[in-house]
Amino acid sequence: MIKLLKDDEKRTVLFLVISFISVVISFLNVGDLPFDVAWLAILLCGIPIIKGAVVGLVTEFDIKADVLVSIALIAAVIIGEIFAAGEVAFIMAIGAYLEERTVAKARAGIEKLVHLTPTTARVARNGEEVIVPAEQVKVGDILRVLAGETIAVDGIIINGQTSVNQAVMTGESLPVDKSEGDEVYSGTVNQYGTFEMKATKVGEDSSLQRMIRLVQSADAGKAKIVGIADRWATWIVVIALLSAGATWLMTDEIIRAVTILVVFCPCALVLATPTALMAGIGNATKFGILIREGDALERLSAVKRIAFDKTGTLTYGKPDVVAVESFDPSLTVAELLSLTASAELRSEHPLGKSIVAHYKLASNPSLPEPSDFQMLAGRGVSALVDGRAILAGNAELLRDNSILLPPTIIDKADTYRNDGCTIIFVSVDGQPSGFIALSDTLRPDAVNVVRNIEKLGIKNVLLTGDNHHAASHMAKLIGIQDIHTDCLPENKLAIIEQYQSGGDLVCMVGDGVNDAPALKKAHVGIAMGGIGSDIAVEAADIALVGDDIKSIPHLLALSKRTMNTIKFNMAISMALNFAAIILAMVGLLGPVVGALVHNAGSVAVIINSSLLLHWKDNKK
């Protein structure tokens, strides 16, 4: 398929070169030739245009630009303006080629994903390592990945350490260190070490395939404003025919009529929107943004509010230790953390895992193994560590074991609770010894993102299922004034509906299954494509591949810039068309110059749109 596309492009370029040479020779009247060589341009570039117009007209009654161009070509040939006909055909073909190149360049950054799909994998089966097609890997298979190989499916490392280049998925410029228990994604590249992994998502469920599906759904033709331009183009064709006919009848000069047909073609108007939208989509991909719906940029430019889910969007969605408080004079903070981490070593609870991870990050990574470990559902854990009885959990756990928390510990714990923290109380040998406070971690870019969005004149809103204390504390840190807490999915839906019924169109940013209804209801939905659930991503119009929220202000500014480009393109194309028509009607513009003026407008529109590919808002 790729080879065929390349062959088609080579043939198009060859035809354009031959047509250009023939038009130049015809214009300069070089040599004593038996026929006008501009006929080559008509045959090579004009015939495909006429063929496409006839097919569209007969099969779909599609009255668009190519119909008017075809009529202009045929009329120019009938009156003997061979050079004008050849020039029109050549420049129209140039315009079409430039449009294709602009669109291709815009989408090139995304379509590389398709070519990154790995074809094979090393799988351990029946005690042997075999290389199988990637599509045959099953969930639960054990894979071995060598240095330099592309990872075939999503999975978890079960043996070995390595560094993985995952720029294709997250945009990170440096390799990321990975070890046992870490996730790896299909399409990313193993840089250094060799490791074994267990497959968790294969085939169409893998991260890379999910991103490819998002890419394939990006279609600028879905944009509403494209439909408007098409409808205008249809009316312009009709008006052009009537104007040309009336001019011919009134002046009895067919050349004026043909010139009107040439300059009245709405090519620039039709090109104005899709080229700008596709260039905008191409720009977004450079910032790790996949735009699933072609009209998402158009809709995004009109939003007045952007609503954020908190957990996993403005925060990492993972608890982290923010404080360790010891109230036992015989235990230092470090000793209390060490005993608690050892007690939690075998825990499967996220809070327990966070305490262990925090200890290993801050201290000696080795921990004494606990004995008599018990996981107490809804309470916490109990264990013996170096002969000492440890309880770590909520207040109910200590109360069940007849351990009373003194007011000093309760009061101090409440100060952390008011900031949205979760508290793990710890007792050692039956005595209340202190607590560990854990909290969700704010993304480092969150504050700047909120501030930059406000600079664009868009209001920020926080929609979260968290309690008021936790949400208010985080909102204060971020700088969001408008908050809604304790939200169930239906509450988020109702709040968005309320804003939008009041005239404030909303863009929703979320990551979880519970955000899917709100993402669908909002005027524009943005999902965290990396950590977000499949349901959330499918419900959204736009996905942030690397969960990088700092690209959101750029996306909002890009949407406004894209719409301004479209409006400018349409205004210029219409103004140029009507000016040329008036000149043609009074006889100041002939078919040849008319073709140059008209097609120069089409090329200018394409070039102006292509500038969006490299646009960046330098105000931030």
Compute the distance between CA of residue 121 and CA of residue 1 in angstroms, rounded to an integer.
25
Nearest in space to 260 (alpha carbons), one of 596, 582, 604, 601: 582
Angle (CA) 89-91-97 rounded to 5° is 100
What's the DSSP call for residue 157?
A: E
At 18, phi and psi to the nearest 5?
A: -60, -40
Could you say which of 36, 309, 440, 515 is catalytic? 309
Q: Is 150 left (phi over 0), alpha (psi -120 to 50) or beta?
A: beta
**Exposed/middle/buried for residue 128 (C-beta within 10 Å: 0-12, 13-18, 19+):** exposed
Residue with tokens 């062959």: 7
User: What is the Rg, in whole angstroms, of the alpha carbon atoms belonging to the chain?
Assistant: 33
Residue with tokens 């070089």: 30
**Exposed/middle/buried for residue 37 (C-beta within 10 Å: 0-12, 13-18, 19+):** buried
Q: Parallel, antiparallel, or unpaired for β 289-291 and 183-184?
A: unpaired
Question: 315, 339 in Cβ contact below 8 A?
Answer: no
Compute the distance between CA of residue 298 and CA of residue 409 in angstroms, rounded to an integer.
55
E strand segments, 259-367: 289-291, 305-309, 315-326
Q: Name, in order, each residue with C-beta under 8 angstroms of 317's C-beta and a sequence gap of 6 or more.
A: 311, 440, 511, 531
Compute the distance between CA of residue 210 and CA of residue 290 in angstroms, rounded to an integer.
11
Residue with tokens 């235990």: 331
Compute the distance between CA of residue 237 and CA of residue 264 in angstroms, rounded to an integer.
8
Compute the distance between CA of residue 16 and CA of residue 19 in angstroms, rounded to an integer.
5
Catalytic annotation present for 252? no
CA distances from 230 to 96, 188, 235, 243, 271 (A): 16, 41, 9, 20, 10
What's the DSSP call for residue 370?
A: P
**Exposed/middle/buried for residue 272 (C-beta within 10 Å: 0-12, 13-18, 19+):** buried
Nearest in space to 292 (alpha carbons), one of 456, 536, 517: 536
Compute the distance between CA of residue 537 and CA of residue 585 in angstroms, rounded to an integer.
55
Question: 512, 476 in Cβ contact below 8 A?
Answer: no
DSSP 3-state assignment of 192?
A: coil
Q: Where are the alpha helices (DSSP H) in 117-184?
A: 167-170
Give the residue numbers annotated as catalytic, written as ranges. 309
